[in-house]
Chain A
Amino acid sequence: MSVIEVQDLRKAYDDVKAVDGVSFSVEVGEVFGMLGPNGAGKTTTVEILEGLRPRDSGSVGVLGLDPGRDAGDLKRKIGVQLQQVSLYPRLRVAEVIELFASFYGRAGVADHLLTLLGLEERRRAFVKDLSGGQQQRLSVALAMVNDPPVIFLDEPTTGMDPQARRSLWETIEQFKAEGRTVLLTTHYMEEAERLCDRVAVMDHGRIIAMDTPEDLVRAHFAQDAIEFSQRNGLTETEFASLPAVVSASIQGDRVSMFSDDVPASMAALLQLGQERGDPIENLRLRRATLEDVFLKLTGRTLRD
């Protein structure tokens, strides 16, 4: 059963087509990821689903409700964490949670959520004194005050340290285990690879690929990647013309090459380095990732 249904959704701001014909659906208990660079239209899409922005056209259903028409009912049932938000600076952490709980007619949820998000020690701290990552965790806690079956998380781990990020990942995995549905946006491919059952890759308001993370990578890259540093200033085309190399991309001084025959390509590469008198450095073999998929599809990285 689909919890979220989106058909040909469109939304323009003046001449910017923020969302330009997006369709997807999310099943019960699924963690669905939206991946894309800045300005791809992730936030716009998510906020239309949350009933916060009107859409221009297309049909949208969340829990069987139309966010454009039944926003009031919908807001009671969903959990929302917004990308950009600030809270009452002079309220204490526990006070903010109880305040938000009261909007849903609930009380006494602070203890549980503070433990869940690892904020117990900060419960009496003022919001303005929290670190960025702690504010982010509070913001996720607020998405949980009404014990919602569907949770929208817009870049939940941005600004968190690796440890906090891991622990939020565990929390999200727990949501999933409890049968909740999660829609999350992210710039981090490892996050998407670890958490998401399916990801939609967005660019310029469109979904350019959508599948499970493994299938996405497999569909685009049969082989592992050869990655190395170079100082020669060779171009992507020059690398791509090496034997068996399918494609190559350069990010700064890091080069990634995908090859049908890794030993053959590797040998040619090492020889090329030798001839130029500048040996290949930091050479390693790695699996292709969503990042590579993204780069291939859009010619850009997820994070600029």
Chain B
Amino acid sequence: MRALVQLTLANTREFVRDRAALFWTFAFPLLFVLIFGLVFSRDSATQYEIGLINDDQSPQASVLVDTLEAMDVFDLSRGGLADEIASLEDGDRRAVISIPSGWGASIDAGSPMSVDIHYDETRQSTQQVVVPVILQAFESVDRTLTRSQPVVRPAFQTLQSERLSTIDFIVPGIVAFSVMNAGVFGAVNIVSLRERRVLRRLQATPVSRLTLVSADLILRMILVLAQAAILIVVARLVFDIRLNSDAGSLAALAGVVVLGGLAFLAIGFFLGSFTKTEQGFFPVAQVVTFPMMFISGVFFPIEFMPDWLRPVINVLPLTHLAEATRQLMIGGAATIPMGVAVAAMAAYLVVFVALAVRLFRWE
């Protein structure tokens, strides 16, 4: 037990004292997210696109419309309700406000009708920023129209858009992709220990292979989780990606990330047992990971792939990891059922751990 702790500590020290390794582990995937985010995100503007439908010709309605139009943060678009709601679902509107016909008359009659505010509740920034700004506008209209009680009564109509923005789709892909890289390339540690004959020296001590490998696994799993967490938090804060943030989904996500990380680390160990040197390991790992990055549904849906390639894609480990990660992060229809994805990753883990143990060499 003390050996495991000390070895894990040794691996951790080796890692954190290696600036280059730190950089590639954490900065590189972040760079990915930021670049994709800037390219695909429409949410970065400080103006919010708001759909406005006015079915009432009353002077009160004009005051409300004028007030909203006077606000610089809103980029108003006037259309039919159906069109605006469709745009909201597509992510092209942050909210849609609809003033019902007869609204002005209902105020005069002393029992104001409510004004609908439609928004996508899966978008955090809408809930936190856009809705409060709209409510503020409503209050100022209240003050203009009457001096006493509120007359603009909001009614929230929430929806969960079926369609995702590109960044929503890509971030889970990047999470899966960086878990794959952290796993496969994480195995280089053992290769380099072997190349530098450190393993040889360890072989002369009573420390067991299991302890040795476990210590490596512990550090790699911590890194994989930390990497995924940082990616998701940054993507959430900067690009307001969609995320199922209930505890259950997050725990399941952590589980999938660890399972995927272990499976890819096992694959890395397997590849590492064929290469003598660190220099020799990288190209082999690249050859294995690079194609998967393009065809496993990381950056675009696997439905876009040619049919003849589908059987291959369906067995690739990254396909399963990306699918599982995406389903847990943003929900939506599954191309591959969760159970199948998890089982596939577990199968990869078992098979490659067995192979890696069998092929393990001290020198």
Count residues on chain A whose CB falls below 8 Å from chain B CBs: 27
Complex Cα gap A99–B215 (Å): 12
Segment touching B, from A8-16, A74-82, A189-197: A74-82
Q: Could you say which residues of chain B place their CB within 8 Å of the CB of A24?
A: none
CB of B160 to closest CB in A, whole Å = 49
Tell me the residues in window 80-124 of chain A with beta carbons closer than 8 Å to chain B beta carbons. 80, 82, 84-91, 95, 98-100, 102-105, 107
Whether B198 pairs with A104 at a CB distance below 8 angstroms is no
Contact with B along A45-67 (1 / 0, CB 8 A): 00000111000000000000000
Decide yes or no whether A162 CB sits under 8 A from chain B. no
Q: Is B111 an interface residue (CB 8 A)?
A: no
The reply to whether B2 and A88 form a contact with Cβ atoms under 8 Å apart is: no
Residue B17 at the chain A interface, CB threshold 8 Å: yes
**B204 interface residue (CB < 8 Å to A):** yes
Contact, CB under 8 Å: B10 / A75 = no
Check B312 for interface membership: any CB of A closer than 8 A. Answer: no
Does B207 lie at the interface of the complex (its beta carbon under 8 Å from any beta carbon of A)?
yes
B358 at the interface (CB under 8 A from A): no
Q: How far is the CA of A87 from the CA of B196 in the complex (A)?
A: 8
Contact A75 B205 (CB under 8 A): yes
B204 touches A52 (CB 8 A): yes
Residues of A contacting B143 with CB < 8 Å? none
Question: Which A residues are in CB contact (< 8 Å) with B200?
Answer: 52, 82, 84-85
| Bound Cα distance A90, B202 (Å) | 16
Main secondary structure on chain A at its contact with chain B?
A: loop
B204 contacts A82, C-beta separation under 8 Å? yes
Contacts of B181-222 to chain A: CB distance below 8 A: 196-198, 200-207
Cα of A76 to Cα of B204 in the assembled complex, Å? 9
Contact status A87-B2, CB under 8 Å? no
- Cβ-defined contact, B198 with A86, below 8 A: yes
**Residue numbers in A under 8 Å from B18 (CB-CB):** 90
A52 contacts across to B, CB distance below 8 A: 200, 203-204
In the assembled complex, the CB of A176 is this many whole angstroms from the nearest CB of chain B, namely 22
A102/B13 contact (C-beta < 8 A), A86-B197, A90-B18 known: no
CA distance A88 to B196 in the complex (A): 9
Inter-chain CA distance A39–B149, complex, in Å, is 100
B262 at the interface (CB under 8 A from A): no
CA distance A27 to B196 in the complex (A): 35
List chain B residues, Cβ under 8 A from A50.
204
The answer to whether B6 touches A88, judged by C-beta atoms less than 8 angstroms apart, is no
CA distance A126 to B13 in the complex (A): 11
Distance between Cα atoms of A126 and B202 in the complex (Å): 19
Q: What is the 8 Å Cβ interface bit string for chain A, positions 182-218, against chain B (1 contact, 0 not)?
A: 0000000000000000000000000000000000000
Quick one: which of A85, A88, A89, A98 has the most chain B CB within 10 A? A88
Which single member of A90, A104, A107, A126 contacts B205 (CB below 8 Å)? A104
* Contact between chains at B196 and A86 (CB < 8 Å): yes
A102 to B18 alpha-carbon distance, docked (Å): 24
Assess whether B13 is in contact with A91, with CB atoms less than 8 Å apart: yes
Write the B296-312 contact mask toward A (1 if CB under 8 angstroms, else 0): 00000000000000000
Contact check, B201 vs A87: say whether CB atoms are below 8 A apart.
yes
Q: B202 — which chain A residues lie within 8 A by C-beta?
A: 103
Interface: A72 (CB within 8 A): yes
The reply to whether B201 and A85 form a contact with Cβ atoms under 8 Å apart is yes
Interface string of B6-26 (1 = CB under 8 A from A): 110110011001100000000
Q: Return chain B residues, CB-CB under 8 Å to A103.
A: 3, 202, 205-207
| B6 contacts A102, C-beta separation under 8 Å | yes
Contact, CB under 8 Å: A102 / B3 = yes
Chain B nearest Cβ from A72, distance in angstroms: 6
Is A88's CB under 8 angstroms from B198's CB? Answer: yes
Q: Does B359 interact with chain A (Cβ within 8 Å)?
A: no
A72→B6 CA distance, assembly (Å): 20
Of B2, B10, B198, B205, which is within 8 A of A95 by CB?
A: B10
Asked if B204 and A75 make an inter-chain contact with CB atoms under 8 angstroms apart, the answer reads yes
Q: Cα distance A104–B17 when bound, in Å?
A: 26
The verdict on B251 contacting chain A, using a C-beta distance below 8 Å, is no
**Shortest beta-carbon distance from A185 to chain B in Å:** 15
Q: Is B86 an interface residue (CB 8 A)?
A: no
When the two chains form their complex, are residues A75 and B206 in contact, meaning their CB atoms are under 8 A apart? Answer: yes
Let me know if A82 and B201 touch, CB within 8 A: yes
CA distance A134 to B286 in the complex (A): 38
B5 contacts the other chain (CB 8 A): yes
The distance from the CB of A162 to the nearest CB of chain B, in whole angstroms, is 27
Interchain CA distance A52-B201 in the complex, whole Å? 10
B254 vs chain A, min Cβ distance (A): 29
In the complex, the answer to whether A99 meets B206 with C-beta atoms within 8 Å is: no
Complex Cα–Cα for A34 and B2 (A)? 36
Check A107 against B204 for contact (C-beta < 8 Å): no
Kindly identify which residue among B9, B17, B196, B205 contacts A100, using a CB–CB cutoff of 8 Å: B205
Cross-interface CB contact of B206 among A76, A82, A89, A95, cutoff 8 Å = A76
Residues of B within 8 A of A75 (CB): 204-206
Nearest B-chain residue to A78, judged by Cβ: B204
CB distance from A53 to the nearest CB of B (A): 10
A99 touches B10 (CB 8 A): yes
Contact A90 B13 (CB under 8 A): yes
> Is B198 in contact with A87, judged by CB distance below 8 angstroms?
yes
Chain B residues near A76 (CB-CB < 8 A): 206
Contact A90 B201 (CB under 8 A): no
- B196 and A80 contacting across the interface, CB-CB below 8 Å: no
Q: Which residue of B lies closest to A98 (CB)?
A: B6
Task: Note all chain B residues with C-beta closer than 8 A to A98.
Answer: 6
A88 touches B14 (CB 8 A): yes
Q: Report the separation of the CA atoms of residues A85 and B202 in the bound assembly, to the nearest whole angstrom.
A: 10
Q: Which B residues are in CB contact (< 8 Å) with A126?
A: 17
| Apart from A80-B205, A89-B14, A95-B10: 7 A-B pairs, beta carbons within 8 A | A82-B197, A82-B204, A84-B197, A99-B9, A99-B10, A102-B3, A105-B2
6 A–B contacts, CB within 8 A, in A order: A80-B205, A89-B196, A90-B17, A102-B6, A103-B205, A103-B207
Q: Which 4 pairs across A and B sit closest by C-beta, in order of nearness?
A: A102-B6, A90-B17, A103-B205, A80-B204
- B residues neighboring A (CB under 8 Å): 2-3, 5-7, 9-10, 13-14, 17-18, 196-198, 200-207
